[in-house]
Amino acid sequence: MSFLIRPVRHDDLNQLVDLAKQFNLLNLPGDKKVLSEKIDRSEQSFADKLDKSKAEYLFVVEDLEEKQIVGSSLILAKHGNEEVPHSYFKIIKRDHFSQDLGIGFIHQVLRFQLDFDGPTEIGGLLVDRSYRRRPEKLGKQISLTRFLYMALYPEKFEERVLCELTPPLTDEGRSEFWEALGRRFTGLPYQEADALSQSHKEFIESLFPQEDIYLALLDSKARLVLGRVGEATKPAQHLLESIGFNYLDEVDPFDGGPHYGAQTADILPIKMGKRLMVADGKDCTFKEQYLIATTGEEFRATMCSVDIRDGEVILPAKARQILGVEVGEQVFAAPFHYNRGRQ
C-alpha cells in the first residue's frame, strides 16, 4: 500500500469527522463545525497567515490506493500566552521533620502554575482502528513527521515542545483525580470542565487553590492515577521517550495526566535529520527506513527504505512518485527508528 502524509485540506472534512468520531480527543473532536474551523486555521497556518500564538498545523495520512484519510496529528505552535495561559500542576517535594519525635516525612505537593509564554505543543494523534498494528506503523509515521516540518521551519515554533499524555480514566470516561480535586473547587463534571478549558482559562485561575496541595490528603484512587499514562497511550509515551522527551514532573490540572517535554533542537528526528539531494543509483541496498519530506512550498512526506551516499539519497521510484520529487531535487530525511541510549 502507498501512504502519504500531508497538510489537511477542506475536502478531507467528512473523512476526518468519521476518523475523529472513533476516539474522544478534546483537541480533535468528532464535530464537523469544530473540525472545519480547525482545517481553516491549519490552511492559514501553513500559508503563514496566522500569528504563532494562533497557528495550528494539522497533518493527515492518506491511503492513496483507497483514497482514504486514515490518521492525523497536530502541532499547536504556541500553547500559553497572556490571553490564554498554559496551566498545570508542578509536583515538588517538601521535607518535614520533628525533633521531638525524631521522625520525618518527604511529602509530594501540587503547586498550581500558569505559563504566559508557553511551549509548542503536539497532539491530535489518531489512527483508524482498522489500520492499527500494520507493518507500516502509521501512528509512528504521522507522529514523527511533525518534527520534520518543525526542522524545516524552526522559526514557526518555540524552543521547547510539550506533549500532554492521557492518564487512566474509568470505563465511563471519568477522571478519579478530577473527582478528588477539581470538581470540589469548580462544581463541574470532568468532561465539561476539560472541554471548557480549551477556550476559557479564567475559571481555572479563579477557582483552583493557589496554595500547595499535599497529595497525602487526596484519596488513594486519585493518587494512583497521578502522573500515570493510560494503557492506550503507552506506545506514544515510549515513542516520545525514544526521541528525547522526558517527564517534566508536571501534570494536567484536570485529570493528572503527565506532561512530557524536550528542547526542540534536541528531539532526535530534528537533531539527526538532514537535507539531501535525490540521486539516481544502481546496485542500491534499500535497507534503512527513513521518513522523507519535501522542502518546497507543498509539504509532503512518506516513509520508505533508502540508500544514503555522500550527502545524497537514493529513493525507490514509488517513493519519488508519492512525494512528487525528481532526481536532483532536495528532500529532508530523518531516521524512522531510534534507540535513545545508542544515539
SS3 letters for 243-264?
Answer: CCCEEEEEECCCCCCEEEEEEH
**Is 57 in the same domain as 99?**
no
**Is 183 in the same domain as 151?**
no
- What residue numbers bound the domain in which 336 lies? 273-342
**Is 6 in the same domain as 56?**
yes
**Beta carbons within 10 angstroms of residue 220's beta carbon:** 8
What is the C-alpha end-to-end distance of the chain, expressed in Å?
31
Tell me the three cell numbers of residue 288. 534503512
What are 141-182's pLDDT values in tens digits?
Answer: 999 999 999 999 999 999 999 999 989 988 877 889 989 988
**Is 317 in the same domain as 231?**
no
What are 199-255's pLDDT values in tens digits?
Answer: 676 787 788 888 899 999 989 999 999 999 988 889 999 999 999 999 999 999 988
pLDDT at residue 172, as a whole number = 79
Asked if 320 and 326 touch (Cβ cutoff 8 Å), the reply is: yes
**Is 111 in the same domain as 247?**
yes
* 199: helix, strand or coil: coil
Q: Return the axis-axis angle of helices 234-242 and 138-152, rounded to nearest 10°.
A: 40
Q: Are strands 330-335 and 288-294 parallel, antiparallel or unpaired?
A: antiparallel
Tell me the three cell numbers of residue 144. 514523527
pLDDT at residue 342, as a whole number = 42
CATH code assigned at 303: 2.40.40.20
**Is 165 in the same domain as 231?**
yes
Q: Which residue has the cell 472513533?
A: 22
**Which regions of the chain are under pLDDT 50?**
341-343
CATH code assigned at 21: 3.40.630.30
List helix spans (H) across the chain: 13-20, 32-46, 138-152, 176-180, 182-186, 190-197, 202-207, 220-225, 234-242, 268-272, 317-323
pTM: 0.92
Helix-, strand-, coil-residue percentages of the chain, each rounded to 5: 30, 30, 35
For residues 19 and 127, give the distance between their C-alpha atoms in angstroms, rounded to a whole number.
Answer: 8
**Beta carbons within 10 angstroms of residue 109's beta carbon:** 17
**Is 198 in the same domain as 87?**
yes
**Is 133 in the same domain as 109?**
no
Residue where a domain terminates, one of 248, 272, 296? 272
Q: Which of 66, 62, 70, 72 is nearest to 39 (CA)?
A: 72
pLDDT at residue 331, as a whole number = 97
**Is 84 in the same domain as 189?**
yes
Tell me the three cell numbers of residue 305. 527504505
The CA angle 171-79-45, to the nearest 5 degrees, is 110
Q: Which of 62, 73, 68, 74 is nearest to 15 (CA)?
A: 68
Q: Which of 53, 113, 87, 89 is nearest to 196 (CA)?
A: 87
pLDDT at residue 68, as a whole number = 96
Asked if 152 and 332 touch (Cβ cutoff 8 Å), the reply is: yes
Q: Which residues contact 328 (CB under 8 A, 6 or more apart)?
A: 277, 278
**Is 97 in the same domain as 164?**
yes
**Is 99 in the same domain as 174?**
yes
Q: What's the total number of domains in the chain? A: 3
pLDDT at residue 196, as a whole number = 78
* 90: helix, strand or coil: strand
**Is 9 in the same domain as 150?**
yes
For residues 130 and 291, give the distance between their C-alpha atoms in angstroms, rounded to a whole number.
Answer: 23
pLDDT at residue 1, as a whole number = 65
Tell me the three cell numbers of residue 100. 521531638
pLDDT at residue 343, as a whole number = 43
